[in-house]
Structures are given as structure tokens and as C-alpha cells.
Amino acid sequence: MKKVLVGLVVLVVLVFGGLKIFEITNYGGTTYYTKITNTGQRVTNRDDEGNKHTIYAYDLPGFDERGGLQQLKFNANRDRPLRKNAFLKVTYNDKKGVTSWESISRSQVPKAALAKLE
């Protein structure tokens, strides 16, 4: 009975460990900071049912906390462009590109990145 229980615990740990590694390699990444300097490129698509969806595509430079440059291409799935001069914290993955972004205040941007953005 102990062997079955130990085996089950080991199996559960391996499964959750594997899922965590998958998440990190596919959705984790390096944090970059960027500033919205344009309205982006408006793209309107239709889904299979004919409904319109508008996105704004951005291609902006991003800088890590030490000032290292990375070109960032990402979309904002909104009916309007992102606010000009807004600062974003972006997660960039080498395999998938930008996986997430969030709006932050100017004071949250590291000094090295802020110096390059302004």
C-alpha cells in the first residue's frame, strides 16, 4: 500500500512539475518596458459568423531593466487604440513573441529603460 501511495505522489509531482515547465517555456519570458508612441495599425477582421473584430497592431522598441533593446510586436484587442504616452510592462518569449502586457505608471519603469524610452 505504501509503494502505491508513494508512486502516486511521485506521479502527481512529475505531472505538475512538467506542466509548470511547459508554462514557463511557452508563456513565461523576459520583462520589457515600452511606451506607446503611435496609434498602432488598425486591422478589422471578420470571424466565421461574419462578426467584425477590430484590433490594433503595434511594433515598438522595448527595453529591459538594464536598457537592453528588443523589438516588440503585439496586438491590442480593443475597439480603440491604446493611450498615447502610456507605459507598458511586456512579457516577451523567444518562441511566441509577446505573451502578455499591462499598463503601468511611469514610476514603475526601471531607470535604465526609462532613460531609453524618453
Task: Please report, in tens digits, the pLDDT of each residue of the chain (118 residues total).
Answer: 777 787 787 778 877 777 777 766 666 688 999 999 988 899 888 888 888 888 899 999 999 989 889 999 998 887 788 899 999 999 998 888 888 889 999 999 998 899 888 8
Structural domains of the chain in order of their starting residue, each with its CATH number: 28-117 (2.40.50.480)
110 DSSP 8-state letter:
-
**pLDDT at residue 25 in the model:** 66
Distance CA 85, CA 35 (A): 6
